[in-house]
Chains A and B, each alone.
Chain A
């Protein structure tokens, strides 16, 4: 006879796997935020490079 009946054990098993899924999703969200920051930085650098190229051409 198992320690817990299926209906009782199911919520604990679901809870454990959902916690794991939540941790992975939180990590993915943090990485997505980092990626956005990197993208913003890259855009500003590209703008800076364009500005320099434009300034150099004027001179």
Chain B
């Protein structure tokens, strides 16, 4: 829980500052006009989601090396939040596509389809994970998946950059003049805000899982210890325990 309040405050301040810059400071794009404002939300969300998938892979490597469930929990939560961000990327991208191209989705555009493939790949993480009952095997298989899929993310990004884009604009293109400083500043603050939001949500989720795990341990300890027998009756049988959540006892 340490620093979570500060992190949350910094996230709110940065996101609000970023959005204020988007609407009151950044100039209108000469080509796209007002619709380009979606870019300051859509691109940082995409970057945060993809980096989050790679962070999950790093935690998965640490889990396989140490067999510490904390790293498994971090990997799981990183993927979880990145998938949520992925939904936002797809929806905001579709809205932009509708306004800019007149279509909600374009199937022959490599940038869109590759992101969808990455998103669907990670969507299979949950059925894979929860199809395995044994907790150790579940964590190990999930880590292997996170590493394999995590390695696929930069390769996929590279392939898309090398491919010829048909319609999707190149954000970090050095040709054609690129963005002016005011747009870069706005983009930088938005990216920082969305990055902090990703980190805050991950920390929140880990704190929630840690608290649930601690409560389960406390309940087991309280119900497992010998009870004083009330006069004239037997002690109440302990209630059946639900399957414990991720063992994130030291996750935060």
Contact B95 A19 (CB under 8 A): yes
Contact B219 A56 (CB under 8 A): no
Q: How many residues belonging to B are interface residues under a CB distance threshold of 8 Å?
A: 40
Contact B95 A2 (CB under 8 A): no
Residues of B within 8 A of A49 (CB): 222
Shortest CB–CB separation between residue B40 and chain A, in angstroms? 10
Contact A3 B208 (CB under 8 A): no
Contact A3:B222 (CB < 8 A) given known A12-B95, A12-B99, A55-B228: no
In the complex, B33 has a CB within 8 A of chain A: yes
CA distance A42 to B218 in the complex (A): 9
Contact B96 A38 (CB under 8 A): no
Within 8 A of B (CB), among A7-39: 8-10, 12-13, 15-17, 19-20, 23-24, 27, 31, 34-35, 38
CA distance A38 to B245 in the complex (A): 13
Contact B34 A6 (CB under 8 A): yes
Residues of A within 8 A of B228 (CB): 52, 55-56, 58-59
Contact B87 A15 (CB under 8 A): no
Binds A, one of B24-32, B113-121, B131-139: B24-32
In the complex, B144 has a CB within 8 A of chain A: no
Interface string of B75-107 (1 = CB under 8 A from A): 000000000100110011001101110000000
Residues of A within 8 A of B42 (CB): 16
Closest 7 CB pairs of A and B: A2-B33, A55-B228, A12-B99, A9-B34, A9-B35, A16-B92, A16-B38
Known pairs A24-B197, A42-B215 / 6 extra A-B pairs, C-beta < 8 Å? A2-B35, A3-B33, A35-B208, A38-B211, A48-B222, A48-B223
